[in-house]
Amino acid sequence: MRWEERYMRRALELAQEAAECGEVPVGCVIVLHGEIVGEGRNRREERQRTSSHAEMEAIEAANARLGSWRLSEAELYVTLEPCPMCAGAILNARIGRVYYGARDRAMGAVGGVSNLFMEDYPNCPAVVGGILAEECAAVLQRFFSELRTGE
Ligand SMILES: [Zn+2]
C-alpha cells in the first residue's frame, strides 16, 4: 500500500468512528516525519461546537503534542476536502502539504467551490486530492442514506 493511502486509511477509520457516533463522517490525521502526531474526527454534534471539524481537532492535538502552533513540516490527511474554516486553519498552522479524499461540492475550499490555496497567501500548502476518494465518499454516502431511511 502506498504510504499516503496508509495515513488516509487511518483517517477513514476515524471517519467511521464518527459515523458510529452519529456525526457526519470525516476523519483527519497529521503526520510529521512519518509519525502521526495528531488525530481528529468530526465532533460537531457531541460538542455542539461549530468549529469541531476533524481538521481543527487534529491541528489542536498536533499543537498540544508538539508544543507548537507551527506545523510547517507536517502533512495533513483528511477524508473530505477542507472547508474555508479548516483551510484557513491550515494556512495559519503553515502546514506544508495536504492530502484529501473526496471532493466537497457544497463547502470545499480547495477546488470544490473555491480554492483558497490558489490565492496569494503566504505558506500555501501543496495539495493532492483524490486519495482513496471512492472510499472516502462512500462512508459519507452510507451515512446520509442511513439517515434518510432512519436506520
Ligand atoms: Zn472544516
Sign of torsion over alpha carbons 77, 136, 50, 122: positive
How crowded is residue 33: how many other Cβ atoms within 10 Å of its Cβ?
8
Q: Which residues lie closer than 8 Å to 141 by C-beta, 6 or more apart?
A: none
Q: Which three cell numbers stand for residue 60?
A: 489542536
pLDDT tier at 140, thresholds 50, 70, 90: very high
> Which residues does the annotation mark as catalytic?
55
Residue 135 DSSP class:
H
Q: Mean pLDDT score of the chain, rounded to an integer? A: 96
Q: Pairing between strand 126-128 and 97-102?
A: parallel
Instruction: Give the Å distance between the CA of 82 and the centre of ligand 1.
Output: 5
For residue 79, the CA-to-ligand 1 centroid distance in Å is 11
* pLDDT class of 151 with cuts at 50, 70, 90: low
pLDDT tens digits for 9-66?
A: 999 999 999 999 999 999 999 999 999 999 999 999 999 999 999 999 999 999 999 9
- Report residue 74 as a C-alpha cell: 507536517
